[in-house]
Each structure stands twice: as C-alpha cells, then as structure tokens.
Amino acid sequence: MRRDLLHMPSSLSLRSTALSQLLSLLFVLLALPRTHARTPDYHSARKTLLLRPRSLLDSEVQGALKGNISAEHALRKLLFTPVSVPIWDSPYSPSQTNADLFLGVTFRVIVYQVPPFVNIEDPEAAVLGDPGNVKQKRNYVNGKISGLVIDLLEQIKTLLNCEIEYYYPCRASDTTCSSSDFTSSTAALQMLAVDSPASSLFHGGGADLCPNYNCLVGGNVKISEENLRNFFFTQPFLQNGFVLVARSGEAEPRIMSWADPMTSFVWTVVIIELIVVGLGLCFTEGYGFINSLSEFRWSPLRLLVEGMYWSLLQLFGAATRSPVTVAGKILLVTQLFFKLLLISTYTGNLNSFLSTIPTSTKVQRIEDFFRTTKGFSKSNSICVPVENPSVQQYLNLLSDNNPDFQFQQVNGTTVDDCLMAVYLNKATATLYDQPVVVSKLASSFYQNSLCGNVGGYCVDNNLTSVPAVTNLSSNVTVSINPPVTLEVLGQDSCICPERDAGYNCINKNNYQFVSVQGSLVTVGELFNNFGYGLAFRRSSDAQALKYTTFNQAILYLQELGILQDIISQWLPDGSQLVCPGSGQGAVTLQLKNVSGLFLFTACGILLGTMVGLGELFVKFCIACFYCCKELKQRVEAEIQDYQDMIKREQGISVEPELSEHGKFVQNIVDTLDETKDKISEIESILRRFAK
C-alpha cells in the first residue's frame, strides 16, 4: 500500500511511533526531487526551505536572488510536488497493514573493513575466496562478518521481514582484494553509485547490484555536506567525533616534583595556615610582660619574624618555645592537629606517587596547536591519513578560520600509518573517529605489545624489502603490521622465539627487538562532532526514498533501547586499555627524581651562608671603621626613641638613658650583686655539708 505524503492519516499520531513516522516524513520533505510545479509565494517558500540543510541550498538561493528563474522554480517546486512513498507499520502502529511491506525484499549492503563498525574475515579472499563476497560466503550466521553496523542491520532485517546480503569493495581485475579497497568508505560509495562506470570495476558492482534502489552502504560513513549532496542518508544511528592521539612517555622529573603529591591549591592553603597561626602567636604571645615573645613587643618587625619562625618550626615538629597564654596554647594544639593530618596525607599520596611512573604527552588537546595556548610549539606535527580526506578537510577548515592554528603536517596513507608514525615519534599526534581509533589501539598496538615502557617490535634482518620509516612526509607507507613485526609479546619472546632440549635459545632468523618507550593514548575531549548514517542512492525516483523506512526502524530500535545496547557492546572504552606485561616492580628513585629536594636544601644553606657572611661583614665594618660604628649608634638611638615613644603613648614610664660612665658603674653594681648571690649560695651549701 502507498500513501500520499500530503494527506497523512491522523491515526499515525495516536501511538509513540507517530513521532517516528512524522520525523521520517520530514526527511522525505528535505530530499524531495526537483521537478516542475506551480509557483507559490517566494518568501513563504523560502521560509519553508530553511528546514533543509542550509549548505545544500546556498547555490540555489543565490541563483534565485540573482533572478535565475529556473533555480527559483526548482526551489518552489521542491515542496509542492506530490510524492508517494511506502510507509512501514512498526509493531507499535495501530494499523498493521504495511507491517510486511518489505517481506521477501532483498537489500544489498556494501560494507568495508572498519572495526568496530564492520569486521570482515579474510577480506583479502586468500583463504575463503569469494572476493567481494558475491557468493555470500561471509554472512552474519557463520560469524564471518560482524560489527556494530552488522548487528544494527540484522535488527532492521528482523523488523522489516526482509533479506540482507553483504558485499565489500574488491577490484574485479584482482583475484585477491587490496586493503586500499576493502577498508575504504570512498570505494564503497563508488560501488554504490551503480550509474557510474566506477561501480562496475568491483566484484558484484554495476547496475545489477541495486535493483529498485534496494542497496545501501554501511560503515562509519559520516553525514557530511559533501555526502548529502550525492546520497540519501538515514538519521544518525550514532553521534561521535574526532579524538586526538598522542604518545605518552615517562614524565621528566622537575625541580618541584616533590610537591606533586598535593595540588598547588593545597600548598597555598598550607602557607595561609602558617601565616594565620604566626600572626596569632604574635598577638597572643607578643604583647605582655611574661609571655614567650614579650621581649620583642617593642619591635613589631622582629616580633613578626619570630612569630612566623615559631609557626614554621611547630609545623616541622622542632619548636623551641612554649606558649604561656591560653590562647597561644589553643593555637599550637590546632597547629599540631593540622600538622598530623597534613603529614599523613602528604606521606600517603607520596607513597602512591612513587609507586607509579607518571606519564605525559607533548599535547593535551587539539587547542594546543593554536599559538595562543600554553601547550603550543612550532615543532608539533599532525599526521594526516591521505585515504581519509575528512581529516584534511577539518584541518583546512581550522586553518582557514583561525590563523593561530599552526602545525607541521606529516602525511600517511592510512589511519594505521599515522598511528605508527606517532608511536615512532615521527609525528606529535594524529586524529580520526574515536571508535575506530580506540579499536585500532586495542587490536593493533596494545595486543601486540606496542606499548608501555617495555614496548617495541621485532625486526627480521633477513628481510630486505621492508620500506623505511624515516620519510613519512613523502607519503612512505608504514604498515602497522609489516613483515618485520612479529605477533609476539615482549622482548624475550622476540629474541628467543624457541628453545632446544637444553633450554638454549634458538634464533634462526636473527630477530632483533627495537625498543620504543611509551604508549599511544587518546587525549582531550571529542571535537568536530558528527553523525554516522546508512547511505542510499540519491535519485528523483520515489523508489529511492526507501531509506525513510530505515529511519523508522532506527527510531523504533532507539525507543526500545536496543540500539544503545548494540553500541555499548561494540564501542570500546579507551580508558580500559591495558598493556600486556606492563606491570612494574618496585620503583627505584634516582638522583633526578629527588633533585628538587637537594636543590631546595642547597638554596636554604646558601641563603643562610650569605646572611651569615653579611652579618660578619657588618660586624667587621663596625669594628674597623668609625663611620660604620657611628651609623650603628645612630640607628640604635632611633630605634630606642621609637620604643620610648610607644611606651609613653601607652602610659608606661621611661627610664632615662645612662651615660657611658653610668653604664660602667651600673655594670659593676650588677656584677657585685651577682657575686653576692653566688657567695650566699656557696655558704648555704657548706652549712648543709657541715650538718
């Protein structure tokens, strides 16, 4: 049964699937063929046309505004040409008339190798044969073709009661398939365009591939502006974006590495606490007559220094004073409790910090390639996979819109090449679709021990036809699994692949292990967000609108949560990547790890020595030069006058200063008093001894 789009039955809005069907109609309206019809008011037509992707209408709108009558007519007729399209009735629909609309219909899906979206067993056709899967030797039932998109299509197949056959790009002129074809979305889209001669170049391609427009492409095909101009797309079944990949290595120790167990904010709080306690001690213990800091009460600067010094020594557990006032005792008890918590926390974090090897990357996010950011460096480079033009297009867009975006470009053939270029430090970073990147890191790098501080790869010195990996900028291909890379784990398995009866190592091929320090990791957040959709042939024929039914099925699977379950099953979690054999033993501290502590101590010793030499120099000048002695006396007199002034303001009597002769007599009197006290003490001891 076929229903006119301009006269939708009201029953479609009765259930939850009504929204799905109305959305699918919107997709139809956005892609109606351009044919001739009546000419309504232009302005109202233009407002309605804004529902379509703006980028698809730029040329038409410009033509209409310039008086291009044919372009203007095409714009207006786009919305008002009646088109009939089959509407599938989902299991939730009140009417089940069209539930079996596609019963017995076979859709031919062109896929390509791109884990985790599509996994094809033996895509080279070296073992199974059947290049291009024309004979359907690889199917969902036997498990030789799988992935996120395959599971989604199988769910749609069950809903529509249709049949699905899987093909993949493989040149008809070859008996085996090339990875440049069966891993390429571009080749799959070329194969889908059956009207083009390029489609016939592939096994199973050409007009016979797509009878009645029952064909589509499934993979990580992005719903981009260029693709929308040439193909119909379903709504996105997955939203994702690009992710930046860089090589992490052991972080170089810094002078302040000893402070890393706690953040700068925590250290700031510690300093503030020391200052507050020091000021409190100055106030509680400095002003009085018998307090611990009373001797400095007439010299505010000296009092402040002694208070801060006391607070610092109390934190380190080396205090030389005891508080007298109750307030001072409360302050020191609080300081001791703070010290207990601080030392416990710092020690615990320090143990954890020393038990792991910190890592770092040259860049932390895509913004680090902008000159205005802290992480920018002119030497930073990005590897661009030539076979994936979406990366180059995105970088060109950033460069055109922001002159501060600068980088050195390194060209690789595929995403695998660029990942290997980053791993070999031939490029700073690369970028591509996050699901694809994480899947490649897990399967091609981490599972092959191309990671960690003991990572690397095996080299067979007997092979002489291996391309060099020193000139990636000239598009030299660096395969992720070249003949020189063995599927072994660790250095021991490489240099000693087998042993004889005496357990002696046998290395017939003279394998050598090339060590690479570090692992490939994803950094920063997702950017350049986009959606993945199923691509259909674009045509003015109403039969080409069958993708709207796939829209309905995708929405239905979303409502039931089935689509999310499929995505969760197949999308890898980059945070769970673990390098085999990367477990480390005890961390041995080297001089560079504690160089900051030694430098900090050396600075303290140097400062103390310089201050001591300064004091010695001042004393020498005072003893040897009359002008220095006179200056000292003048300064002391001014300080004494200032202290006397403070005493008078507080109502304290000030004793007149004695002359030099008076001071001499006073010293003699004080000495005699001390002598008298000593004689009395000796007499008391003698009397006790005589008894």
Which CATH number covers residue 133? 3.40.190.10
C-alpha dist (Å) from residue 251 to 432, 462, 517, 670: 26, 36, 11, 67
Q: What dihedral do alpha carbons 49, 50, 54, 56 form, nearest 10°?
A: -10
Phi-psi region of 679 (alpha: psi -120 to 50; beta: other; left: phi over 0): alpha
Q: Does residue 256 form part of some domain?
A: no
CA-nearest of 530, 573, 542, 562 to 153 is 562
Q: Do 522 and 540 share a domain, yes or no? A: no
Q: Is the pLDDT of residue 637 over 90?
A: no
**What's the average model confidence in pLDDT over 446-475?**
56
499: burial class by Cβ within 10 Å (0-12, 13-18, 19+)?
exposed
Chain segment 356-366, per-residue pLDDT in tens: 666 788 899 99
Chain segment 386-420, per-residue pLDDT in tens: 888 899 999 999 999 988 999 999 998 889 889 98
Residue 444: DSSP 8-state: I
DSSP letter string, 457-470: EEEETT---PPPSS
Q: Do 371 and 520 share a domain, yes or no? A: yes
Give the range of the structural domain holding residue 426, as residue numbers without chain letter: 367-527
Last residue of a domain, one of 354, 385, 405: 354
Chain segment 15-63, per-residue pLDDT in tens: 333 434 444 444 444 444 333 333 333 333 333 333 333 334 444 444 4
For position 344, which CATH number holds?
A: 1.10.287
* Model pLDDT, residue 288: 65
* Model pLDDT, residue 519: 87
* Model pLDDT, residue 252: 66
Q: Is the pLDDT of residue 557 over 90?
A: yes
Chain segment 253-303, per-residue pLDDT in tens: 666 666 777 888 888 888 998 899 888 888 888 876 677 888 787 778 888
The chain-wide mean pLDDT, for the chain, equals: 78
Report the predicted TM-score, pTM, of the whole model to 2 decimal places.
0.64
**What's the average model confidence in pLDDT over 184-207?**
93
Tokens, residue 496 = 């000693």
Q: Do 521 and 540 share a domain, yes or no? A: no
Q: Do 508 and 431 share a domain, yes or no? A: yes
Q: How many domains does the chain have?
A: 5
Tokens, residue 554 = 């995708």
Q: 355, 587 in Cβ contact below 8 A?
A: yes
Q: % helix / strand / coil in the chain, to the nearest 5?
A: 50, 15, 40
Q: How confident is the model at residue 217 (pLDDT cuts 50, 70, 90)?
A: very high
Q: How confident is the model at residue 81 (pLDDT cuts 50, 70, 90)?
A: low
C-alpha dist (Å) from residue 306 to 157, 286, 293, 313: 83, 10, 8, 10
**What's the average model confidence in pLDDT over 162-191?**
92
* Model pLDDT, residue 67: 56
Distance CA 541, CA 36 (A): 14
Strand partners, 536: 216, 232
Distance CA 509, CA 495 (A): 10
Q: Does residue 77 form part of some domain?
A: yes
Chain segment 290-305, per-residue pLDDT in tens: 778 887 877 788 888 8
Q: Does residue 428 form part of some domain?
A: yes
Q: Do 216 and 318 share a domain, yes or no? A: no
**What's the average model confidence in pLDDT over 185-214?**
93
Q: 397, 353 in Cβ contact below 8 A?
A: no
**What's the average model confidence in pLDDT over 59-69?**
49
Q: Do 395 and 507 share a domain, yes or no? A: yes
Chain segment 110-149, per-residue pLDDT in tens: 999 999 999 999 999 999 999 999 999 999 999 999 999 9
Q: Do 433 and 512 share a domain, yes or no? A: yes
Distance CA 256, CA 253 (A): 8
Last residue of a domain, one of 572, 588, 603: 572
Q: Do 402 and 505 share a domain, yes or no? A: yes
Q: How confident is the model at residue 581 (pLDDT cuts 50, 70, 90)?
A: low
Q: Does residue 408 form part of some domain?
A: yes
Q: Does residue 594 form part of some domain?
A: no
Q: Do 458 and 541 share a domain, yes or no? A: no
CA-nearest of 157, 151, 165 to 110 is 165
Q: What's the distance, CA 385 to chain centroid?
A: 20
CA-nearest of 318, 248, 215, 327 to 281 is 327
Q: Do 216 and 232 share a domain, yes or no? A: yes
